[in-house]
Amino acid sequence: MDRDGTGRGAGDEQASAGAVDLTRRETFAHWSRDLARWGDTDRIGHLNNAVFATFFETGRVSLIHDRTLMLGPPGTLFVIARLAIDFRAEMHWPGEVEIGTGLLRIGRSSVTLGQALFQAGRCTATAESTLVLIDAATRRATPFPPASRATFHRFALPAHAADAADEDRPGGVAGGLAGGLAGGIAGGAAQGESGGDAVGQPGASHVRGGAG
């Protein structure tokens, strides 16, 4: 049973029945764009790896905070519990960065997004992030209403084959955060993930905790 006492709900769903190829442009229906900045470069002459996370944030935020979609009902907030990035190619200034974002799976109160960065048509990085919907007043995990679930599914990524359980099972990310954020989002997420999926791959960058 989750720490909010609700357990895993019958509505927990995988958006894709299998592995999703995040390196393909045609995988994504939602797109955002950002510009590489001179200050993003490092002494090697390419965009620094830390900037990749900022580009992924741009894509994530443009989807979940789109007021025309209302993915988070009034009185709720999204917090990020997990971010795993695979770096695939360099990016350079000047240039535009395209960010594809879509749904991998959705649980009772958490959602996992798949993303990719593209520059000049080439995939430069992929990422998976898990977000938890919380009540703004209580700071506890709160369920997605049916309308939000249906809207998320409009951006479901096409499957190509692999199992992946949702994050809301006992010991999952949402369970870790459902006990409240008093101990810090990062601590709650790290504790909750101990029994969850291992989404990251060797060499991936893992970032836990934070809002939005």
Closest CA to 86 of 208, 193, 203: 203
Predicted TM-score (pTM) of this structure: 0.72
Number of domains present in the structure of the chain:
1
Q: Considering the domain boundaries, does residue 5 fall inside one?
A: no
Q: Considering the domain boundaries, does residue 172 fall inside one?
A: yes
Q: Considering the domain boundaries, does residue 183 fall inside one?
A: yes
Q: Considering the domain boundaries, does residue 1 fall inside one?
A: no
Per-residue pLDDT for the chain (212 aa), expressed as one digit of tens each? 333 333 334 445 665 546 899 999 999 999 999 999 999 999 999 999 999 999 999 999 999 999 999 999 999 999 999 999 999 999 999 999 999 999 999 999 999 999 999 999 999 999 999 999 999 999 999 999 999 999 999 999 997 543 333 444 434 445 444 444 433 433 343 333 333 332 233 334 444 444 55
Domain of residue 115, CATH code: 3.10.129.10
User: Where do we find the tokens 């209580």?
Assistant: 138
Range of the domain at 91: 18-207
Q: Considering the domain boundaries, does residue 6 fall inside one?
A: no
Report the Cα–Cα distance between both ends of the chain, in Å, rounded. Answer: 26
Q: Considering the domain boundaries, does residue 37 fall inside one?
A: yes
Q: Considering the domain boundaries, does residue 2 fall inside one?
A: no
